Amino acid sequence: MAGRRESKKAATRSALARAAAEIVLFDGADGLTVPAITAKAGVSVRTFHNYFSSREQSLQEFITERVTALIHDLEEIPEEFDLLSAVEQLVVTHLRTSDDELESFPTLIQLSEVVESLSPHSSEQAVESAIEPIIPVARARVPELSEFQTIVFVRIIAQAMKTALEWYYRLPEPRDPAEGERLVREAVQVIRAG
């Protein structure tokens, strides 16, 4: 019984987080209100406040869910790939196969920017909480680096991938994923040259 109840709570929390992300993606940050989130998720405002203290927190939850899914995908890449090569493969694969706009890299970037604009202090904590679960996975692929060096390396890779993807998504539609792949690989080359 308790297992089903916990599953239902997790599903409600996830539905609220997804609703917040959908509102930002399709209606813009101005549409992100607690009543809008609850209407989209089909729950009451009171239910919302059982899970989240703010709209930013619900949006951050969606980002955390996406980062967790990406970490899982990263763990699935064979261990013989070093961290940079594994991230490169992950990003290129998602460029070629992701059909769900809500779960795409540009949406993740956009949502992160919205959280930052709505609550700059929370954004710093959000970045830290997003990076934290990546570190053990990253350290396994770069055991020669200290924890501090791994954190720096992860941030460098994340910024490089963000830059490559921003350039790609500025291109006019229809975009060729091969061009996105080229930009990602070019960003990786810059890191390797450094």
Please check whether residue 103 lies inside any domain of the structure: yes
Q: Which domain holds residue 135?
A: 55-193
The single residue listed with the structure tokens 């089909």 is 42
Please check whether residue 23 lies inside any domain of the structure: no
Please check whether residue 176 lies inside any domain of the structure: yes
Please check whether residue 94 lies inside any domain of the structure: yes
Give the residue-averaged pLDDT of 83-107: 82
pLDDT at 143: 93
| Three-class HEC string of 7-37 | HHHHHHHHHHHHHHHHHHHHHCHHHCCHHHH
Give the number of domains in the chain: 1
pLDDT digits (tens, 9 = 90+) for 34-81: 999 999 999 999 999 999 999 999 998 998 888 888 889 999 999 899
The single residue listed with the structure tokens 């975009």 is 175
60: left (phi > 0), else alpha (psi -120 to 50), else beta?
A: alpha
Please check whether residue 10 lies inside any domain of the structure: no
pLDDT at 124: 62
